[in-house]
Amino acid sequence: HNIEVNYLSGKNNKDDDLIKQVLDLDGINDYSIVTNVGYEINNPKYTKKYEEVRSRSYVDGEEQHYVFLKSLGNDQYNKFIKSLGLKYDDVWDKVILLNRNISYVYDEETNTSKKIDVLMFDYKQGDKIQGKYYDYSCKYDEKDPEKCKKTKELTVAALSEINPLGLESNIVEGNATFIVSDEFMKQIYTQKEKHYTLYFDVENADKFQDDVEKILTSADEVHIYNLDKDMRQQQSLFTLVAIFLYGFIIVIALIGITNIFNTITTSVELRAREFATLKSVGMTKHEFNRMISLESIFYGFKSLIIGIPIGSVLSYLIYRALVGGDLDFDYIYPFKAVVISIVAVLILITVIMKYSINKISKQNTIETIRNDNI
């Protein structure tokens, strides 16, 4: 999806009419209307893998487990159950479990949080789940907080590892989701004021956002998120940072190349008498070129032996500074960048060395020796 609308409906049918107007807009490829209700599972049945992860993660050890019951709107729900090979009459009063879970486990050795993707519940099709849902139509009483919790038994119709539209990133730490039909949701969500989250896959997100804002101007509480616009803004920021970053790298590279060029050419010019003497005592052109090639390789590998370890250490230190122990990013050694650096250094030294040698080769051998003696 690329448009998300958080919307609080009122007590009359006017708000429902506004939603219908939004759904009638052009350019909608797909949509879902998500409503959710909290549900506490009594004595949840976890998988062995999740039990192991749970004991080492940040999830507490309470006997109840809080999840969400979510409806998708009739159209999206029918598409979803059809993709699972289910029939509406068989599942409308049951739940479909989105069972994937991502937990973060602290690793003492690396001082980082590792992300682990596991199946959370060990429920099968047809299993019964005991628990309570929160009745939003009930007036909360601080003296009796359990008053508004209603007992409800759930039956598992199916398990799915595929998330429907709007719930693509719904795998969150310490949680799972139960998908229900709108008909089921109406039985437990009886409050007239309801919170909806509408997810849209549209062709032109900017135009659609403008149209939705015009329709929902009279609504009390509306928040519209344009994911395409947010992505463009992030991309613009990344581009700006990349311009400055690569600009800095290019400047440093040019300074380095200039220094290498001056160092090698000056060194070769200072050794002009040495080269002339070697030629005068019988060194052939082939032998001379071989000597220069070996020296070029020696210079290149000497610089790489020093530079690669230093660069690798700095790369890892930068990674550690950015991660800081809180983010789950594995360090990946930049092998490709190292190979490019090796090739670039060898080519650069070879080209500069050949340029310098060609420059002094034009000089007369006898004159070079005589001038140096003078």
pLDDT, tens digit, 9 for 90 and up, residues 331-350: 788 899 899 988 988 888 88
- Model confidence over 94-120: pLDDT tens digits? 999 988 777 666 666 666 667 777 888
Q: Residue 93 in 3-state DSSP?
A: coil
The pLDDT assigned to 10 comes to 63
Mean pLDDT, residues 82-101 taken together: 89
Q: Residue 336 and residue 309: Cα distance in Å, rounded?
A: 15
> Domain residues of the chain, as ranges?
28-202, 271-373
- Joined together, the tokens standing for residue 332 give 């990946």
46: number of Cβ within 10 Å: 18
Mean pLDDT, residues 70-74 taken together: 91
Strand partners, 198: 5, 33
- Model confidence over 152-198: pLDDT tens digits? 999 999 998 888 887 876 554 447 889 999 999 988 887 777 788 88
Distance spanning both ends of the chain, measured CA to CA: 82
Mean pLDDT, residues 44-68 taken together: 71
Q: Do 33 and 198 touch, CB atoms closer than 8 A?
A: yes
Residues 6 or more apart in contact with residue 137 via CB below 8 angstroms: 190, 191
Confidence of residue 271 (pLDDT cuts 50, 70, 90): confident
Q: Residue 266 and residue 286: Cα distance in Å, rounded?
A: 23
The length of the chain in residues reads 374
Strand partners, 157: none
Q: Residue 299 and residue 268: Cα distance in Å, rounded?
A: 13
Q: Residue 182 and residue 74: Cα distance in Å, rounded?
A: 6
Tell me the average pLDDT of the chain. 82
Q: What is the DSSP letter of 224?
A: E
3-state percent helix, strand, coil for the chain, nearest multiple of 5: 50, 25, 30
The pLDDT assigned to 63 comes to 47
How far CA 340 is from CA of 255, 293, 315, 343, 346, in Å, comes to 19, 20, 16, 5, 10
Confidence of residue 247 (pLDDT cuts 50, 70, 90): very high
The pLDDT assigned to 97 comes to 92
The pLDDT assigned to 139 comes to 78
How far CA 147 is from CA of 36, 129, 135, in Å, comes to 20, 21, 9
How far CA 119 is from CA of 46, 85, 106, 374, in Å, comes to 9, 21, 19, 86
- Which helix (DSSP H) or strand (DSSP E) does residue 132 occupy? strand 131-134
Mean pLDDT, residues 69-77 taken together: 91
Q: Do 85 and 102 touch, CB atoms closer than 8 A?
A: no
Residue 311 pLDDT exceeds 70: yes
Strand duo 195-202 + 28-42: pairing: antiparallel
The pLDDT assigned to 193 comes to 75
- Joined together, the tokens standing for residue 48 give 């062995």
Q: Residue 19 and residue 2: Cα distance in Å, rounded?
A: 18
Burial degree of 163 (CB within 10 A; 0-12, 13-18, 19+): middle
- Which helix (DSSP H) or strand (DSSP E) does residue 20 occupy? helix 14-23
- Joined together, the tokens standing for residue 109 give 């050795």
- Joined together, the tokens standing for residue 177 give 């989701």
> Is the entire prediction scored with pTM above 0.85?
no
